[in-house]
C-alpha cells in the first residue's frame, strides 16, 4: 500500500468537493479497493470515505413503492432490512462472508461492476434507477461492460431505487474458490413483463437475456425456457469453467430462478 | 471410569490453551531489537536471461540498509538437495545448482532476484520497486512432455537436458512384467494426472536471522518442521557455519503439511544478511509470495496398467510416470516420486510382478516436493483407480476384487522391496462396510434419484510406509541424511520431567501425546511431564516431524530414554529399600519390593538422585538425565479401507460428499481424540485435492491459481456433516518392531481419500448411464459436466 490522505465527510456535498482533488477516490466498504491498494495496483492521493454520510445509509420505501437503498448501505443491512423485496435481501445475504457483508456497500459494488458480482444482476433485472449526486441513471444505461459504468469521474452513487416485483429470485452458482458468481441469474416478474439479468457469464459483463424474458413474460414457468439457450461465443472461459459450461449454466440457473421465484 | 491420562486417553490438547487465547509464540511474533526487514524482488517471468539488475536508484531510497544481488553470494554454497536418485542406466540424477538469489537466469515466477534490507518493510518494498531489471525472456517449459522433447529449451543450460533422472524399479522385473502383461487374460489401463497442489499452511513462512558479533554466533528463527535439519543443511552446505556457532529455533509452527520441511533460500538469506548488516533481518511471507515460493506438491502424469488372469487375480502392474520437479531440486524432491512412491505400488495386494518407471522433469515452475503423504497418495490414487476400473470392466464388485487379491500372511515381502510387518485388510474392509451401511446404499440411491440426483458409492484401500525410516536402508537408496530420532529425558529433583525431543510439532499435539506415554510408563500424572522441542540449542540432534514419524520414531526414542531412567531409578530404589534391584517394581509412581509392603515414591527416588546423601555413589552417578537415539528397523505400515458416498447434480456437475467413512489400522493409539482429528483433517485435505484444489500454470509459466480467489481450499461446507463423517481406528494390528506398537496416522486421510472420492463419482455417473471411466482431479463441476456430455 502506498501512502494516501483520508477524508470522512458527513455530507454528499462535502464528499463531492473532496473528490474534486486530483487522484482522489471514493471509498465505500473497501472490500475491493483496499485489497487493490495492498497489492499496490492503485495509488490514489486521497481516499474519501462515504460511510459517514448519514443520508447515504439505510433502506426505505419511496412514494412510488420502490425500495430505496442508500449508496453507502452495507450488504448486511440490506440483508436484514430489505424485507419488502425478499429476493434482494436474499441476494445481499449471500454476497461474500460476514466480514465482507458488514463492510461492503451497494454503491461500491455497482460502481465497481465486477463481471461476477451479484448486485449488478439484481439492479439490471429490477430495472433499478441508480441515483447519483448529479442525475438518475436507468440500470439499462448504467452497465457498460466489465468494470465499466456510466459514472463520470468523481460521481457518487447516493441511492439505488428498486421497483418491487411481483415475484423474483436470484440463483447463484458459485465459483468454488472466490464464491463470487460463476453464473448468477436474477429473474424478476413485473406486471408489464419479466426481466432476466445474468452475471458472471459474459465477457461483456452483466446482461439481459431477452429471449428468456419474452418466453417468461408470456408463461412464467421453467418449462417456458425449454429449448432456449445462449450462444457461448462471448462467454467467459477460465480455470473454473469453459464458455460452453457457462452458457449451459445460464439456462439451468434461469430455470431454477423461475422455479423458486416468489 | 474412563482413563483420563496415559496411553489411550483422549486427553484434551494442552497446547490449545495457548493457541486459542492468542498466547502462541510463532516466528512472526519474534521481534529483535534493531531488526531490519527484507523484501525480495521476485521474478515475474518464468524463464529468462538476467542481463542486468540496476539497484542504483533503489540504494538511495529512504531507510535502505543494503541491497543484495547474486554477486554478494560469490563463494556461498547453493541450496542443497538431500536425496540422490540413480537412473536406471546407472547414472546419478542431474543436479543443478540452486543459488540463493537468481544467477544468470530466472527459472520460475517467484524466484528471488534481489533482496532489499531496510528499516521498515514498506521502505524495503518501495526500494525493491525502484530496482530496474533487464531480462531477456526465454520460452517457458511448463508441460513435462514438451520439456523432454528433442531440442526443448533447457531450464538449466549446464545440464544435458530437462530430465533429472529416469528411474526404473524394480528394473530386474521389467521384462517379466512386460511378458505378464502380454500374456494376461485382461489388462486394464488408465492415464491420469495427480494434480499439483499448494500446501497453504495457515501460518505463512517467516525467517528472522540474528548475529552476535562478540561470539560470532548466528541464530535463525524459522517456520520449520525440523530445525536440526535446517541447521545441518544451511550450516554445512550453504553458509559454512559450524553447528556450535549456529542455532536454529522453530517456535510454534502453524501448520506445515510437508512444505516446512525443506531448507529455503530465504532462511539462508536472513542468516547471511544478519551478519553482513550486523542487524537482525526479518522476512514474513505474504500469502501471495507463499503461492510462488513454498514448494508445491504432487504433479504426476501417469499411465498405469493392471494385468489379471482369468480368475481375476492380479498378475502384474506397470506404471509409467512423469514427475514434475519444478525449476530446482527442493530438499527431498527426488525421493518423493521414487522411493516414497514406487515401493508402495503393491498396496494391499499380492501382485507378484511390479515395474515402475519415473521420469523426473525440470520445468519453469516452483519446485515440487513432499506434501502430506508424499508419493504414497500418488501411488494409492493410481493403483486404486485402476483396480476400480478393472472391476467395472470385468463386471465384478470392486470390494470383492480387492478382497480376492488381499495380502493375508504377515510378514509379507512385496516385489517392491518392502516388508509389511502386520496388517489385517479384511478387518478394516469389514469395519468400513459396516460403518458405511453399504446394505442401505440402494435405498439412499433411489432417494437421490427421486430428487433428480445421481448417487455413487466408492471404496478404496490403502497402505502407507510411515515411521520414516531405517537409516542404513535409506542411505543405500540415496538419502544424504539419517532418519533416526532422538530424545533426552531430564528428571528434576522433585520428580517432574522434561522431554527434549527431536520431533517438532507443527499442529500434531506432541505436547499432549508425548507426556501421556512417559506418564504411563512411570505411573504418574501426565501433567508432571513437559515437552521441549523446536530449538537446536535445547534438544538433541533430531530429524523432525514428517512422514507420520513422530510417535513411531520420536516416541520410540523417548521410550528408550525413559527406560534408561526407569532402570536407574530402580537401582536407586533398591538401595533405598535395601533390596535387590531385580525385586523392585515400579507401579503408579511408586517403587516397591515384590512380595513386601516396603515402598518409596517416585519423588523420593528422584530427590535422592540429586541429593545423594544416602545413595550408591560407588555404583551409579547422581542425577537423572538420559538420552536415546532410535533408528527404526523397518517402516511402519498403516493401512485402511475408506468409503465415500457422493451425490452428483447432473444439470450442473456439482458433486457433494454425503458420507465418508474411514476404517484405519494405526496399530496402538496413544490419544484417540488427536488421532481422529488428524484423520478428519487428512480426509479434508484429500477431499480438497479430489474436488477443489488445483495449481494451474498457463503456457507462459504464469501461475493462474495464485490466490484464494482462484485456488480453492476446502471449507467446512465442502465436507459431510459430522454424523456422516466417521473415522474409526478400532482395527489394530500393532507394529511389531517399535516399542509402542504404533504406526502413525498423520498422512492416512490425505492418502486414502482422493481415490475414494473419484471412485464414488464414477459410480454415480455410470449409474446415470454416462460412459465415464475416469475423471481427473479436481473433479470440479465444469469437469464433471463436460465428462457427462
Ligand atoms: C472475500 C470477498 C468475497 C466477495 N464475494 C462477493 C460476492 O459473492 N458477490 C459480490 O457481488 N461481491 C462480492 N465481493 C465484493 C464485495 O461485495 C464488495 O463489497 C464490492 O465489490 C465493493 O463494495 P465496497 O463498498 O467494498 O467498495 P470499495 O472497495 O470501497 O470500492 C470499490 C470501487 O467503487 C468505488 N465506490 C465505492 N463506493 C462508491 C459510491 N457510493 N459511488 C461511487 N463509487 C463508489 C470506489 O472508488 C472503488 O473504485 C466480495 C469481496 C470479498 C473481499
Could you please state the CATH topology (level 3) that the domain comprising A59-162 is classified under: 3.30.465
Domain ranges of chain A: 5-49, 59-162, 167-261
Would you call B549 helix, strand, or coil by DSSP? coil
Nearest to A240 among B288, B713, B782 (CB): B782
Q: What are the distances in angstroms from CA B108 to CA B42, B82, B113, B194, B760?
A: 9, 21, 11, 21, 37
Ligand 1, from A32, A56, A99, A107: best to mutate by most atoms within 8 Å of Cβ?
A32
- Residue A14 Cα, ligand 1 centroid: separation in angstroms? 22
Nearest chain A residue (CA) to B779: A240
Shared-domain flag, residues B553 and B536: yes
From CA B267, how far away is CA B619, in angstroms rounded? Answer: 48
Nearest CA to ligand 1 atom 27: A108
Residue numbers in B near A239 (CB within 8 A): 694, 696, 704-705, 710
Per residue, the 3-state secondary structure of B18-52, as one string, reads HHHCCCCCEHHHCCCCCCEEEEEEECCCCCEEEEE
Q: What is the pLDDT of residues B468-508, one digit of tens each?
A: 999 999 999 999 999 999 999 999 999 999 999 999 999 99
- Residue B667 Cα, ligand 1 centroid: separation in angstroms? 53
Shared-domain flag, residues B689 and B562: no
Measuring from each residue's beta carbon to the nearest atom of ligand 1, which residues come in under 6 Å? Answer: A 25-33, 50, 71-72, 95-96, 100, 104-105, 107-109, 111-112, 114, 117-119, 156-157, 179-180
Residue length, chain A? 262
Residue numbers in B near A178 (CB within 8 A): 708-710
Shared-domain flag, residues B269 and B300: no
Residue length, chain B? 789
Shared-domain flag, residues B362 and B503: no
pLDDT of residue B3: 66
Nearest to A248 among B122, B712, B785 (CB): B785
Beta-bridge partners for B26:
B252
Asked if residue B757 is part of any domain, the answer here is yes
Nearest to A176 among B129, B651, B712 (CB): B712
Shared-domain flag, residues B76 and B218: yes
Residue numbers in B near A40 (CB within 8 A): 125, 129
Low-confidence residues in chain B, pLDDT < 50: 1-2
Ligand 1, from A25, A49, A91, A108: best to mutate by most atoms within 8 Å of Cβ?
A108
Burial of B21 per CB tally in 10 Å (0-12, 13-18, 19+): exposed
Contact A177 B288 (CB under 8 A): no
Q: What are the distances in angstroms from CA B750 to CA B298, B335, B665?
A: 12, 19, 15
Q: What are the distances in angstroms from CA A230 to CA A198, B620, B703?
A: 11, 88, 31
Shared-domain flag, residues B37 and B123: yes
Asked if residue B207 is part of any domain, the answer here is yes
Nearest CA to ligand 1 atom 6: A96
Alpha helices in B294-440 (DSSP H): 376-394, 398-404, 425-436
Would you call B765 helix, strand, or coil by DSSP? helix
- Residue A32 Cα, ligand 1 centroid: separation in angstroms? 5
Asked if residue B279 is part of any domain, the answer here is yes
pLDDT band with cut points at 50, 70 and 90 for residue A210: very high
Ligand 1 atom nearest to A31, measured from its CA: 26
Closest by Cα among B440, B444, B436 to B460: B436
Would you call B763 helix, strand, or coil by DSSP? helix
Domain at A5-49, CATH class: alpha beta
Contact A176 B696 (CB under 8 A): no
Asked if residue B614 is part of any domain, the answer here is yes
- Among B630, B651, B678, identify where a domain stops: B630
Nearest to B709 among A177, A244, A252 (CB): A177
- Among B596, B630, B664, identify where a domain stops: B630
From CA B751, how far away is CA B761, in angstroms rounded? Answer: 18
Alpha helices in B141-208 (DSSP H): 144-148, 174-183
Residue numbers in B near A244 (CB within 8 A): 786
- Across the A:B interface, residue pairs with CB atoms under 8 Å apart total 43
Nearest to A176 among B122, B129, B692 (CB): B692
Shared-domain flag, residues B680 and B624: no
Shared-domain flag, residues B250 and B131: yes
Asked if residue B385 is part of any domain, the answer here is yes
pLDDT of residue A112: 98
Asked if residue B35 is part of any domain, the answer here is yes
- Domain enclosing residue B624, as ranges: 3-23+484-630
Please check the confidence at residue A96 and state whether its pLDDT lies above 50.
Answer: yes
Please check the confidence at residue A86 and state whether its pLDDT lies above 60.
Answer: yes
The domain tally of chain B equals: 3
Residue numbers in B near A245 (CB within 8 A): 653, 781-782, 785-786
Q: Read off the CATH number of the domain in which B65 is found.
A: 3.90.1170.50
Closest by Cα among B403, B405, B330 to B360: B330
From CA A205, how far away is CA B314, in angstroms rounded? Answer: 55
- The residues of A whose Cβ lies within 8 A of any Cβ of B are 1, 39-40, 173, 176-178, 239-242, 244-245, 248-249, 252
Residue numbers in B near A240 (CB within 8 A): 710, 780, 782
Most A CBs within 10 A among B197, B452, B781, hence the mutation to make, goes to B781
CATH (one of 3.40.50.720, 3.60.15.10, 1.20.120.1200, 3.30.390.50) for A167-261: 3.30.390.50
User: Where are the extended beta strands (E) located within B43-121?
Assistant: 48-54, 64-68, 105-106, 112-118
From CA B215, how far away is CA B484, in angstroms rounded? Answer: 31
Q: What are the distances in angstroms from CA B637 to CA A196, B386, B420, B425, B482?
A: 58, 22, 6, 12, 20
Asked if residue B512 is part of any domain, the answer here is yes
pLDDT of residue B2: 46
Contact A40 B129 (CB under 8 A): yes
* CA Rg value for chain A: 18
Nearest CA to ligand 1 atom 35: A108
**Nine-digit cell string for B610:** 540429586
Residue numbers in A near B786 (CB within 8 A): 242, 244-245
Shared-domain flag, residues B720 and B594: no
- Structure pTM? 0.97
Q: Read off the CATH number of the domain in which B610 is found.
A: 3.30.365.10
From CA A203, how far away is CA A236, in angstroms rounded? Answer: 5
Most A CBs within 10 A among B453, B652, B693, B707, hence the mutation to make, goes to B652
Q: What are the distances in angstroms from CA B93 to CA B80, B172, B354?
A: 14, 20, 23
In whole angstroms, what separates CA B35 from the centre of its chain? 32
Which run of H or of E encompasses B126? helix B121-129
Contact B696 A239 (CB under 8 A): yes
Shared-domain flag, residues B703 and B585: no
Helix B748-767 to helix B781-788 angle (10° resolution) is 30
From CA B517, how far away is CA A242, in angstroms rounded? Answer: 54
Shared-domain flag, residues B448 and B429: yes
Q: What is the DSSP string of B313-326?
A: -EEEEEEEEEEEEE
Nearest to B780 among A240, A249, A252 (CB): A240
> What single-letter DSSP state applies at residue B298?
-
Residue numbers in A near B652 (CB within 8 A): 173, 249, 252
B552 touches B737 (CB < 8 A)? no
Shared-domain flag, residues B504 and B465: no
Amino acid at each position: 500500500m502506498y501512502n494516501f490522505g483520508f477524508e470522512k465527510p458527513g455530507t454528499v456535498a462535502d464528499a463531492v468537493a473532496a473528490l474534486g482533488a486530483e487522484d482522489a477516490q471514493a471509498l465505500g466498504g473497501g472490500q475491493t479497493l483496499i485489497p487493490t491498494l495492498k497489492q499496490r495496483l492503485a495509488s490514489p492521493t486521497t481516499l474519501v470515505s462515504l460511510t459517514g454520510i448519514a443520508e447515504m445509509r439505510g433502506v426505505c420505501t419511496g412514494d412510488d413503492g420502490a425500495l430505496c437503498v442508500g449508496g453507502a448501505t452495507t450488504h448486511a443491512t440490506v440483508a436484514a432490512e430489505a424485507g419488502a423485496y425478499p429476493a434482494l435481501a436474499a441476494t445481499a445475504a449471500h454476497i461474500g462472508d460476514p466480514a465482507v457483508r458488514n463492510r461492503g456497500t451497494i454503491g461500491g459494488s455497482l460502481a465497481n461492476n465486477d463481471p461476477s458480482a451479484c448486485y449488478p444482476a439484481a439492479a439490471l433485472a429490477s430495472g433499478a434507477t441508480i441515483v447519483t449526486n448529479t442525475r438518475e441513471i436507468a440500470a439499462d444505461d448504467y452497465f457498460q461492460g466489465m468494470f465499466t459504468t456510466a459514472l463520470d469521474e468523481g460521481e457518487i452513487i447516493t441511492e439505488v431505487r428498486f421497483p418491487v416485483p411481483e415475484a423474483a429470485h436470484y440463483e447463484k452458482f458459485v465459483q468454488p474458490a472466490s464464491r463470487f458468481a460463476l453464473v448468477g441469474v436474477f429473474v424478476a416478474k413485473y406486471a408489464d413483463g419479466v426481466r432476466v439479468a445474468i452475471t458472471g457469464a459474459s465477457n461483456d459483463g452483466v446482461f439481459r437475456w431477452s429471449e428468456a424474458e419474452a418466453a417468461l413474460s408470456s408463461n412464467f414457468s421453467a418449462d417456458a425456457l425449454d429449448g432456449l439457450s445462449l450462444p457461448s461465443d462471448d462467454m467467459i472461459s477460465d480455470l473454473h469453467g469453459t464458455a460452453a459450461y457457462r452458457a449451459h449454466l445460464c439456462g439451468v440457473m434461469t430455470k431454477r430462478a423461475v422455479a423458486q421465484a416468489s | 471410569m474412563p482413563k483420563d491420562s496415559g496411553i489411550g486417553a483422549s486427553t484434551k490438547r494442552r497446547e490449545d490453551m495457548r493457541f486459542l487465547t492468542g498466547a502462541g509464540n510463532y516466528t512472526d511474533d519474534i521481534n529483535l531489537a534493531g531488526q531490519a526487514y527484507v523484501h525480495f524482488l521476485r521474478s515475474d517471468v518464468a524463464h529468462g536471461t538476467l542481463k542486468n539488475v540496476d539497484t542504483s536508484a533503489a540504494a538511495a531510497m529512504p531507510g535502505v540498509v543494503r541491497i543484495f544481488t547474486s554477486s554478494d553470494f560469490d563463494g556461498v554454497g547453493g541450496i542443497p538437495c538431500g536425496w540422490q536418485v540413480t537412473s536406471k542406466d546407472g547414472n546419478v540424477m542431474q543436479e543443478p545448482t540452486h543459488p540463493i538469489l537468481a544467477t544468470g537466469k530466472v527459472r520460475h515466477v517467484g524466484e528471488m532476484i534481489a533482496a532489499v534490507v531496510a528499516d521498515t518493510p514498506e521502505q524495503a518494498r518501495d526500494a525493491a520497486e525502484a530496482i530496474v531489471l533487464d531480462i531477456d525472456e526465454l520460452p517457458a517449459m511448463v508441460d513435462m512432455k514438451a520439456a523432454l522433447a528433442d531440442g526443448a529449451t533447457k531450464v538449466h543450460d549446464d545440464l544435458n537436458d530437462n530430465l533429472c533422472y529416469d528411474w526404473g524399479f524394480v528394473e530386474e522385473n521389467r521384462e517379466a512384467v512386460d511378458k505378464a502383461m502380454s500374456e494376461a487374460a485382461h489388462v486394464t489401463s488408465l492415464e491420469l494426472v495427480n494434480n499439483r497442489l499448494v500446501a497453504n499452511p495457515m501460518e505463512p513462512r517467516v525467517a528472522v536471522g540474528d548475529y552476535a558479533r562478540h561470539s560470532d554466533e548466528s541464530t535463525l528463527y524459522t517456520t520449520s518442521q525440523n530445525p536440526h535439519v535446517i541447521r545441518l543443511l544451511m550450516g554445512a552446505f550453504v553458509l559454512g557455519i559450524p553447528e556450535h556457532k549456529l542455532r536454529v529455533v522453530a517456535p510454534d509452527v502453524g501448520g506445515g503439511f510437508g512444505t516446512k520441511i525443506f531448507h529455503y533460500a530465504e532462511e539462508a538469506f536472513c542468516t547471511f544478511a544478519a551478519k553482513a548488516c550486523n542487524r537482525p533481518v526479518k522476512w514474513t511471507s505474504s500469502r501471495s509470495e507463499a503461492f510462488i515460493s513454498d514448494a508445491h506438491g504432487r504433479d504426476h502424469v501417469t499411465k498405469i496398467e493392471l494385468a489379471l488372469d482369468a480368475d481375476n487375480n492380479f498378475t502384474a502392474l506397470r506404471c509409467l510416470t512423469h514427475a514434475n520437479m519444478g525449476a530446482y531440486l527442493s530438499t527431498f524432491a527426488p525421493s518423493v516420486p521414487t522411493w516414497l512412491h514406487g515401493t508402495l505400488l503393491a498396496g494391499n495386494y499380492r501382485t507378484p510382478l511390479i515395474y515402475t518407471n519415473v521420469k523426473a522433469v525440470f520445468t519453469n515452475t516452483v519446485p515440487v516436493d513432499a506434501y502430506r503423504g508424499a508419493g504414497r497418495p500418488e501411488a494409492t490414487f493410481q493403483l486404486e483407480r485402476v483396480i476400480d476400473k478393472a472391476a467395472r470392466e470385468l463386471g465384478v464388485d470392486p470390494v470383492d476384487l480387492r478382497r480376492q487379491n488381499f495380502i493375508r500372511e504377515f510378514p509379507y515381502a512385496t516385489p517392491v522391496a518392502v516388508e509389511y510387518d502386520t496388517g489385517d485388510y479384511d478387518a478394516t474392509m469389514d469395519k468400513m462396510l459396516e460403518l458405511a451401511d453399504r446394505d442401505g446404499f440402494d435405498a439412499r440411491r433411489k432417494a437421490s434419484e427421486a430428487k433428480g440426483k445421481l448417487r455413487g458409492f466408492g471404496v478404496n484401500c490403502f497402505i502407507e510406509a510411515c515411521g520414516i525410516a531405517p537409516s542404513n536402508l535409506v542411505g543405500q537408496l540415496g538419502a544424504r541424511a539419517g532418519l533416526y530420532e532422538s530424545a533426552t529425558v531430564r528428571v528434576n529433583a522433585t520428580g517432574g520431567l522434561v522431554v527434549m525431543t527431536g520431533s517438532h510439532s507443527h499442529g500434531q499435539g506432541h505436547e499432549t501425546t508425548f507426556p501421556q506415554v512417559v506418564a504411563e510408563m512411570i505411573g504418574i500424572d501426565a501433567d508432571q511431564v513437559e515437552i521441549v522441542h523446536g530449538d537446536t540449542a535445547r534438544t538433541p540432534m533430531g530429524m523432525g516431524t514428517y512422514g507420520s514419524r513422530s510417535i513411531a520414531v520420536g516416541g520410540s526414542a523417548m521410550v528408550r530414554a525413559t527406560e534408561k531412567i526407569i532402570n536407574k531409578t530402580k537401582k536407586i530404589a533398591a538401595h533405598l529399600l535395601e533390596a535387590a534391584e531385580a525385586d523392585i517394581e515400579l507401579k503408579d509412581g511408586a517403587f516397591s519390593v515384590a512380595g513386601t509392603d516396603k515402598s518409596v515414591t517416585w519423588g523420593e527416588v528422584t530427590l535422592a538422585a540429586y541429593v545423594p546423601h544416602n545413595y550408591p555413589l560407588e555404583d551409579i552417578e547422581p542425577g537423572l538425565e538420559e538420552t536415546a537415539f532410535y533408528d527404526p528397523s523397518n517402516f511402519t505400515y498403516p493401512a485402511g479401507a475408506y468409503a465415500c458416498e457422493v451425490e452428483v447434480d447432473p444439470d450442473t456437475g456439482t458433486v457433494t460428499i454425503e458420507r465418508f467413512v474411514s476404517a484405519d489400522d494405526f496399530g496402538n493409539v496413544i490419544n484417540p481424540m488427536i488421532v481422529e482429528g488428524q484423520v478428519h483433517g487428512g480426509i479434508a485435505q484429500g477431499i480438497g485435492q479430489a474436488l477443489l484444489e488445483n495449481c494451474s500454470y498457463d503456457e507462459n509459466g504464469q501461475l493462474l491459481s495464485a490466490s484464494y480467489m482462484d485456488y480453492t481450499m476446502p471449507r467446512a461446507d465442502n465436507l459431510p456433516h459430522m454424523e456422516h463423517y466417521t473415522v474409526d481406528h478400532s482395527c489394530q494390528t500393532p507394529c511389531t518392531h517399535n516399542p509402542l506398537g504404533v504406526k502413525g496416522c498423520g498422512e492416512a486421510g490425505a492418502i486414502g481419500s482422493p481415490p475414494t472420492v473419484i471412485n464414488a463419482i464414477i459410480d454415480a455417473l455410470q449409474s446415470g448411464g454416462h460412459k465415464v471411466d475416469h475423471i481427473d482431479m479436481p473433479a470440479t463441476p465444469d469437469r464433471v459436466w463436460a465428462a457427462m456430455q
